[in-house]
Amino acid sequence: MKAIMTTTSTALDRYIGLSDRAVHDETALNELLALFTADATVDIGPEPARGDKAVAAFYRAHFADHAEMKHFWKTTVLADGRLRAEWVCAARKTDGSLITVAGVEHATLDTQGLISHLHNEFTRLPG
């Protein structure tokens, strides 16, 4: 996997940054959802979410389970144009429990710079 540059202003960076706010801010959630194409696939959970309605339902359920979260990440633009972000997160769930989680996300963008496919590989499962 050859990287051609590291950046902090990609659609993937905006997505991860908005995730922290989307937990408690509907405007941030809507901004996050607007980063995806109408037919996007999000492959994070046990089953991929396909299409704007399924992607929105996935994120609404995910964020409803959290009271707050904070991500740290590093994004790289790969030679094939995909984006790769190594990330870590600490979060407080709505039941008050604390978790940490980490992973690597890969995003494929369409010609307008929207995310058409997002795939996550956990390097540390939530817990």
Percent of the chain beyond pLDDT 70? 94
Dist. CA 30–CA 97, nearest whole Å: 26
What pLDDT is recorded for position 45?
Answer: 81
Residue 8's pLDDT band, with cuts at 50, 70 and 90, is: low
Do residues 104 and 121 make contact, with C-beta atoms less than 8 angstroms apart?
Answer: yes
Is 35 a residue whose pLDDT tops 60? yes
Dist. CA 13–CA 7, nearest whole Å: 8
